[in-house]
Amino acid sequence: MGIDCKHLWNYISEYLDWTLLNETRETVQKHLDHCEICSAILDSTRNMIILVADDRIFELPVGFSERLHARIDLELT
Ligand SMILES: [Zn+2]
């Protein structure tokens, strides 16, 4: 399985930025292939970044990742 969900969330923004090492990227990709929760999170994070980029604001809203993680915790329990 490689890494668990909580570890993967640390890599999502780098995954989307293509700044992960190939080895890490592969691990993340494998996890995403079998984990619906993380795939959904990746999609919503990507959409969020596109929205934010369209407004020419390059930082995620304050508290975004905390709210995201709280939501994920709910889905996992
Ligand atoms: Zn996962």
Quote the pTM value.
0.62
Q: How far is ligand 1, taken at its centre, from the CA of residue 37, in Å?
A: 6
* Regions of the chain short of the pLDDT cut 70: 1, 51-64
C-alpha separations of 55 from 3, 11, 33, 40, 47 in Å: 34, 24, 31, 23, 13
Q: How far is ligand 1, taken at its centre, from the CA of residue 8, in Å?
A: 7
Q: How far is ligand 1, taken at its centre, from the CA of residue 36, in Å?
A: 7
% of residues, the chain, pLDDT over 90 = 39
Q: How far is ligand 1, taken at its centre, from the CA of residue 60, in Å?
A: 21
pLDDT at 72: 78
Domain boundaries, the chain: 5-76
Q: How far is ligand 1, taken at its centre, from the CA of residue 43, in Å?
A: 13
CA dihedral 42, 47, 49, 51 (to 10 degrees): -170
